[in-house]
A = this chain, B = another copy of it.
């Protein structure tokens, strides 16, 4: 999952680790708290070893006049390679069970503007199915097995059930929008008129593989 997210972000611009973490946190803020460096750096190492990204030490730009002298450990800037872009396209298009879990779905969704519409629909529907199953499980629990659980556990289930129902409704809307070829619109937060009409996702057709 981290691999996908990193590849996706580096496609927008080269970055160093710290910056990458901040962008990651911004983009995935709704999903997970913050990515740990204990995950980030080893993953960057792995991606570099695989050839998906290259790392370049940032030197003082002019020349290496004073190399020693408080050996400045410059920032390491990571850049995605052509193979990395291919890898990203492959990862973003392939959907498995983990694509529909909370984290997996969130990461995929965050890169929907780089995903073709067919895949977007596949993912949204898979997610809906997953949540519907979770919802049914909770409903069963609140029905049949209710007397085995204490009041607090029951309340937790109730709250979880409600969250499931809301998410299914949200997904329905997104799916309807996708089918009609529209951008994701805010459902209506009281003030009429959408948020902004530019920066909409690629109108139906292509999406990935615009030239570097």
Chain A interface, >50% SS class: helix
- CB contact under 8 A between A152 and B184, given known A30-B157, A141-B29, A145-B26: yes
A31-B160, A163-B163 are known; give 19 further A-B pairs, CB within 8 A: A26-B141, A27-B153, A29-B134, A29-B137, A29-B138, A30-B156, A30-B157, A30-B163, A33-B134, A109-B152, A109-B156, A110-B153, A113-B151, A146-B195, A150-B199, A151-B201, A155-B174, A155-B186, A159-B167
Chain A 56-67 near chain B by CB (<8 Å), digits 1 or 0: 000000000000
Q: Does A77 contact B (CB under 8 A)?
A: no
Q: Is the CB of B30 within 8 A of A160?
A: yes
The residues of A with any CB-CB pair to B shorter than 8 Å are: 26-27, 29-31, 33, 101, 106, 109-113, 134, 137-138, 141, 145-147, 149-163, 166-167, 170, 174, 183-184, 186, 195-196, 199-201
* A170 in contact with B159 (CB, 8 Å): yes
Q: How far is the CA of A113 from the CA of B149 in the complex (A)?
A: 10
Please measure, in the bound complex, the distance between the C-alpha atom of A161 and the C-alpha atom of B186, giving whole angstroms: 13
Instruction: Judge whether B30 and A151 touch: CB under 8 Å.
Output: no
The CA-CA distance from A26 to B138 in the complex, in Å, is 9
The 22 listed contacts between A and B (C-beta, < 8 Å) are: A26-B149, A29-B134, A29-B157, A31-B156, A33-B101, A33-B134, A106-B156, A109-B152, A109-B156, A110-B152, A113-B150, A113-B152, A113-B153, A147-B196, A147-B199, A151-B183, A151-B199, A151-B200, A159-B167, A162-B166, A163-B163, A166-B166
Name the distance in Å between A136's Cβ and chain B's nearest Cβ: 11
Complex Cα distance A200/B138, Å? 20
Complex Cα–Cα for A200 and B161 (A): 21
A29 to B158, CA, bound (A): 11
**Minimal beta-carbon separation of A171 from chain B (angstroms):** 10
